[in-house]
Amino acid sequence: MGWTWQYQTAQGEPPPDSFAQPADGFPTQADAETWVGEFWRDLLAEGVDAVTLFEDGRLVYGPMSLHPSS
C-alpha cells in the first residue's frame, strides 16, 4: 500500500470526484510529499481543500490545508 493521500472538502468529506494518485501509493514519504507539492493547485481546482497522509493505513499527519496562507 505504501504512502497515500486522503482528500477532504472544507466540510471534512471526501470530494465527489477524487483526483487520481498512483493506485499503489508512493514508495516513500518524500515521493508522496513531492507529488502533492506538484499537484496541490490541481487538487484545489477539483474541490480538494485538505489532504491527510497515511503510511500503510496509519495516520502520519493531517488534515493539511491546500489553501495558501494569507
State residue 8's pLDDT score.
Answer: 94
Torsion sign over Cα 11, 12, 16, 20:
positive
Tell me: the pLDDT tens digits for 13-59? 888 777 788 888 999 999 999 999 999 999 999 999 999 999 999 99
Interacting residues of 63 by C-beta distance below 8 A, sequence separation 6+:
8, 12, 50, 51, 52
Neighbour tally for 20: CB within 10 Å: 8
pLDDT for position 22: 82
pLDDT given at position 50: 96
The yes-or-no verdict on residue 1 having pLDDT over 80 is no
pLDDT value, residue 21:
82
Residue 2, all three cell numbers: 505504501
